[in-house]
Structure 1
Amino acid sequence: MITIYHNPRCSKSRAACELITGTCNSANEATQIVEYLKQPLTVAQLQELHGQLGCPLREMIRDTEAEYKALDLADPSLTDAQLYLALARHPVLLQRPIVVRNGRAVIGRPPENVAALFD
Protein backbone atom coordinates (compact mmCIF):
# COMPACT_ATOMS: atom_id res chain seq x y z
CA MET A 1 0.00 0.00 0.00
CA ILE A 2 1.23 3.45 -0.92
CA THR A 3 -0.16 6.37 1.09
CA ILE A 4 0.15 9.92 -0.16
CA TYR A 5 -0.55 12.79 2.23
CA HIS A 6 -1.71 15.21 -0.42
CA ASN A 7 -2.86 18.78 -0.94
CA PRO A 8 -4.45 18.99 -4.39
CA ARG A 9 -3.77 22.76 -4.56
CA CYS A 10 0.00 22.19 -4.26
CA SER A 11 1.91 21.74 -7.52
CA LYS A 12 4.62 19.63 -5.82
CA SER A 13 1.98 17.37 -4.34
CA ARG A 14 0.24 16.94 -7.70
CA ALA A 15 3.59 16.25 -9.37
CA ALA A 16 4.43 13.56 -6.82
CA CYS A 17 1.07 11.88 -7.40
CA GLU A 18 1.67 11.92 -11.16
CA LEU A 19 5.18 10.53 -10.72
CA ILE A 20 3.86 7.64 -8.63
CA THR A 21 0.98 6.77 -10.94
CA GLY A 22 2.94 7.35 -14.13
CA THR A 23 6.42 6.03 -13.43
CA CYS A 24 7.23 4.66 -10.00
CA ASN A 25 4.27 2.39 -9.33
CA SER A 26 4.87 -0.06 -12.19
CA ALA A 27 3.52 -2.92 -10.03
CA ASN A 28 0.19 -1.07 -9.64
CA GLU A 29 0.26 -1.23 -5.85
CA ALA A 30 -2.85 0.02 -4.12
CA THR A 31 -2.61 3.74 -3.46
CA GLN A 32 -4.43 5.71 -0.81
CA ILE A 33 -4.58 9.48 -1.15
CA VAL A 34 -5.20 11.32 2.10
CA GLU A 35 -6.19 14.95 1.77
CA TYR A 36 -4.78 15.86 5.16
CA LEU A 37 -6.38 19.32 5.17
CA LYS A 38 -9.79 17.63 5.09
CA GLN A 39 -8.72 14.68 7.27
CA PRO A 40 -6.17 16.08 9.75
CA LEU A 41 -3.78 13.61 11.32
CA THR A 42 -3.87 12.91 15.02
CA VAL A 43 -0.84 13.37 17.24
CA ALA A 44 -0.36 9.58 17.23
CA GLN A 45 -0.50 9.44 13.42
CA LEU A 46 1.97 12.32 13.18
CA GLN A 47 4.35 10.54 15.55
CA GLU A 48 4.16 7.37 13.46
CA LEU A 49 4.73 9.33 10.26
CA HIS A 50 7.69 11.10 11.85
CA GLY A 51 9.22 7.73 12.74
CA GLN A 52 8.80 6.55 9.15
CA LEU A 53 10.44 9.70 7.80
CA GLY A 54 13.48 9.38 10.06
CA CYS A 55 14.20 13.10 9.96
CA PRO A 56 14.15 15.86 12.56
CA LEU A 57 10.58 16.73 13.52
CA ARG A 58 10.98 20.33 12.40
CA GLU A 59 11.57 19.13 8.82
CA MET A 60 7.92 18.03 8.77
CA ILE A 61 6.79 21.60 9.45
CA ARG A 62 6.22 24.24 6.79
CA ASP A 63 7.90 27.33 8.19
CA THR A 64 6.52 29.57 5.43
CA GLU A 65 2.90 29.40 6.62
CA ALA A 66 1.34 32.31 8.53
CA GLU A 67 0.42 29.91 11.35
CA TYR A 68 4.09 29.11 11.87
CA LYS A 69 4.84 32.72 12.74
CA ALA A 70 1.57 33.29 14.61
CA LEU A 71 2.24 30.28 16.85
CA ASP A 72 5.90 31.23 17.31
CA LEU A 73 6.98 27.75 16.21
CA ALA A 74 10.52 28.95 15.55
CA ASP A 75 11.01 29.05 19.33
CA PRO A 76 13.73 26.42 19.98
CA SER A 77 12.40 25.76 23.49
CA LEU A 78 9.22 24.14 22.16
CA THR A 79 8.99 20.44 22.91
CA ASP A 80 8.18 17.74 20.38
CA ALA A 81 4.81 17.33 22.08
CA GLN A 82 4.04 21.00 21.46
CA LEU A 83 5.11 20.72 17.82
CA TYR A 84 3.00 17.59 17.24
CA LEU A 85 0.00 19.35 18.78
CA ALA A 86 0.52 22.37 16.51
CA LEU A 87 0.63 20.09 13.46
CA ALA A 88 -2.51 18.26 14.57
CA ARG A 89 -4.43 21.49 15.19
CA HIS A 90 -3.09 23.30 12.10
CA PRO A 91 -2.66 20.71 9.33
CA VAL A 92 -1.62 23.40 6.85
CA LEU A 93 1.75 23.31 8.66
CA LEU A 94 2.50 19.75 7.50
CA GLN A 95 5.03 19.45 4.69
CA ARG A 96 3.55 18.15 1.47
CA PRO A 97 3.42 15.75 -0.06
CA ILE A 98 4.52 12.95 2.20
CA VAL A 99 4.55 9.49 0.64
CA VAL A 100 4.65 6.26 2.66
CA ARG A 101 5.48 2.81 1.29
CA ASN A 102 6.59 -0.35 3.10
CA GLY A 103 7.04 1.41 6.42
CA ARG A 104 9.26 4.16 5.00
CA ALA A 105 8.29 7.72 4.15
CA VAL A 106 9.74 10.67 2.26
CA ILE A 107 8.80 14.29 1.84
CA GLY A 108 8.18 14.82 -1.86
CA ARG A 109 9.94 18.18 -2.14
CA PRO A 110 11.16 17.88 -4.81
CA PRO A 111 8.69 15.30 -6.14
CA GLU A 112 11.56 13.13 -7.40
CA ASN A 113 12.33 12.25 -3.76
CA VAL A 114 9.50 9.69 -3.86
CA ALA A 115 11.48 7.53 -6.29
CA ALA A 116 13.69 6.48 -3.35
CA LEU A 117 10.76 4.48 -1.96
CA PHE A 118 10.71 2.31 -5.08
CA ASP A 119 14.42 1.40 -5.22
Structure 2
Amino acid sequence: SRNTLEMIRKCGDEPHIVEYLKCPPTRLLLRQLIARMGVSVRDVIREKGTPFQELGLGDPSLSDDQLLDAIIDHPSLIERPIVVTPLGVRLCRPSEAVLDILPSRANESFVKEDGEKV
Protein backbone atom coordinates (compact mmCIF):
# COMPACT_ATOMS: atom_id res chain seq x y z
CA SER A 1 0.00 0.00 0.00
CA ARG A 2 1.05 3.58 -0.51
CA ASN A 3 0.77 4.20 3.23
CA THR A 4 3.19 1.38 3.99
CA LEU A 5 5.67 2.69 1.42
CA GLU A 6 5.45 6.18 2.89
CA MET A 7 6.07 4.90 6.43
CA ILE A 8 9.16 3.03 5.24
CA ARG A 9 10.44 6.12 3.44
CA LYS A 10 9.73 8.33 6.45
CA CYS A 11 12.04 6.10 8.47
CA GLY A 12 14.82 6.86 6.00
CA ASP A 13 14.73 3.71 3.89
CA GLU A 14 13.93 3.35 0.20
CA PRO A 15 11.99 0.12 -0.31
CA HIS A 16 12.82 -2.40 -3.01
CA ILE A 17 9.49 -3.08 -4.69
CA VAL A 18 8.94 -6.51 -6.21
CA GLU A 19 6.55 -6.46 -9.16
CA TYR A 20 5.00 -9.80 -8.24
CA LEU A 21 2.67 -9.88 -11.25
CA LYS A 22 5.58 -9.52 -13.69
CA CYS A 23 7.99 -11.70 -11.70
CA PRO A 24 5.94 -13.96 -9.37
CA PRO A 25 7.62 -15.54 -6.35
CA THR A 26 8.54 -19.20 -6.45
CA ARG A 27 6.75 -21.79 -4.36
CA LEU A 28 9.88 -22.02 -2.17
CA LEU A 29 10.00 -18.26 -1.58
CA LEU A 30 6.28 -18.17 -0.76
CA ARG A 31 6.71 -21.01 1.75
CA GLN A 32 9.68 -19.20 3.33
CA LEU A 33 7.83 -15.89 3.62
CA ILE A 34 4.74 -17.57 5.07
CA ALA A 35 6.88 -19.45 7.61
CA ARG A 36 8.78 -16.29 8.60
CA MET A 37 5.49 -14.44 9.09
CA GLY A 38 4.10 -17.27 11.19
CA VAL A 39 0.81 -17.30 9.29
CA SER A 40 -1.10 -19.84 7.24
CA VAL A 41 -1.24 -20.02 3.46
CA ARG A 42 -4.88 -18.90 3.67
CA ASP A 43 -3.77 -15.76 5.52
CA VAL A 44 -1.84 -14.55 2.47
CA ILE A 45 -4.62 -15.11 -0.06
CA ARG A 46 -6.38 -12.02 -1.35
CA GLU A 47 -10.07 -12.46 -2.10
CA LYS A 48 -11.14 -9.07 -3.43
CA GLY A 49 -10.47 -8.44 -7.12
CA THR A 50 -9.04 -11.91 -7.72
CA PRO A 51 -10.28 -15.26 -9.06
CA PHE A 52 -10.69 -16.49 -5.44
CA GLN A 53 -14.40 -17.30 -5.76
CA GLU A 54 -14.30 -18.77 -9.27
CA LEU A 55 -11.42 -21.07 -8.23
CA GLY A 56 -13.37 -22.23 -5.17
CA LEU A 57 -10.54 -21.29 -2.81
CA GLY A 58 -12.92 -20.79 0.10
CA ASP A 59 -13.25 -24.59 0.31
CA PRO A 60 -11.79 -25.52 3.72
CA SER A 61 -10.80 -28.97 2.47
CA LEU A 62 -8.13 -27.55 0.13
CA SER A 63 -4.58 -28.33 1.23
CA ASP A 64 -1.78 -25.80 1.54
CA ASP A 65 -0.21 -27.30 -1.59
CA GLN A 66 -3.44 -26.81 -3.54
CA LEU A 67 -3.68 -23.22 -2.33
CA LEU A 68 -0.04 -22.59 -3.27
CA ASP A 69 -0.71 -24.05 -6.73
CA ALA A 70 -3.49 -21.50 -7.17
CA ILE A 71 -1.26 -18.65 -5.99
CA ILE A 72 1.53 -19.72 -8.36
CA ASP A 73 -0.95 -19.87 -11.27
CA HIS A 74 -2.66 -16.59 -10.27
CA PRO A 75 -0.19 -14.27 -8.47
CA SER A 76 -2.92 -11.64 -8.05
CA LEU A 77 -4.10 -13.88 -5.19
CA ILE A 78 -1.14 -12.77 -3.05
CA GLU A 79 -2.33 -10.44 -0.28
CA ARG A 80 -0.14 -7.40 0.00
CA PRO A 81 1.99 -5.68 0.94
CA ILE A 82 4.43 -8.20 2.36
CA VAL A 83 7.44 -6.39 3.80
CA VAL A 84 10.80 -7.99 4.57
CA THR A 85 13.36 -6.25 6.80
CA PRO A 86 16.25 -7.46 8.97
CA LEU A 87 13.76 -7.43 11.87
CA GLY A 88 11.20 -9.72 10.29
CA VAL A 89 8.55 -10.30 7.67
CA ARG A 90 4.98 -8.99 7.91
CA LEU A 91 1.85 -8.86 5.86
CA CYS A 92 1.27 -5.16 6.47
CA ARG A 93 -2.48 -5.04 6.83
CA PRO A 94 -3.16 -2.65 8.42
CA SER A 95 -0.31 -0.60 7.00
CA GLU A 96 1.04 0.42 10.41
CA ALA A 97 2.05 -3.22 11.03
CA VAL A 98 5.22 -2.26 9.15
CA LEU A 99 6.34 -0.17 12.14
CA ASP A 100 7.02 -3.38 14.11
CA ILE A 101 9.74 -4.45 11.68
CA LEU A 102 11.42 -1.18 10.74
CA PRO A 103 14.96 -0.75 12.10
CA SER A 104 14.24 2.86 13.05
CA ARG A 105 10.84 4.36 13.64
CA ALA A 106 9.84 7.81 12.52
CA ASN A 107 9.89 10.35 15.35
CA GLU A 108 6.75 12.10 14.18
CA SER A 109 3.31 10.62 13.76
CA PHE A 110 2.29 9.54 10.29
CA VAL A 111 -0.98 10.56 8.66
CA LYS A 112 -2.49 8.01 6.28
CA GLU A 113 -4.13 8.97 3.00
CA ASP A 114 -7.55 8.81 4.69
CA GLY A 115 -6.43 11.27 7.40
CA GLU A 116 -6.00 8.67 10.16
CA LYS A 117 -3.00 9.38 12.42
CA VAL A 118 -0.64 6.52 13.22
User: Same-fold call, TM > 0.5?
Assistant: yes
Which residue of structure 2 lines up, in the alignment, with residue 86 of structure 1?
A: 70
CA apart distance, 1:55: 1.1
Match for 1:118 among 102, 110, 118?
102
Which residue of structure 2 lines up, in the alignment, with residue 107 of structure 1?
A: 91
- Decide whether the 8 Å contact of 2:5 with 2:15 is kept in 1: no
In structure 2, the CA distance between the partners of 1:103 and 1:50, relative to structure 1 (3 Å rule), is farther
Identity across matched positions, percent: 39
TM-score computed with the length of structure 1 as normaliser: 0.78
Following superposition of structure 1 onto structure 2, how do residues 1-40 of structure 1 map, counting pairs within 5 Å? 13-23=1-11, 26=12, 28=13, 31-40=15-24
Is the radius of gyration larger for structure 1 or structure 2? 2
Structure 1 Cα separation of the partners of residues 50 and 79 of structure 2: 14
Residue-by-residue CA offset, 1:52-99 (whole Å, 9 max, x unaligned): 111122110012234000110001111100111111111111011110
Q: Looking at secondary structure, tell me which structure has more strand per residue.
A: 1
Quick check: 100-109 or 89-98, which moved more? 100-109
TM-score computed with the length of structure 2 as normaliser: 0.79
SS of the equivalent of 2:98 reads: helix
- For this pair of structures, how many residues does the alignment match? 103
Runs of at least 5 residues in structure 2 that lack an aligned partner in the other structure: 104-118
- Decide whether the 8 Å contact of 1:62 with 1:93 is kept in 2: yes
Runs of at least 5 residues in structure 1 that lack an aligned partner in the other structure: 1-12
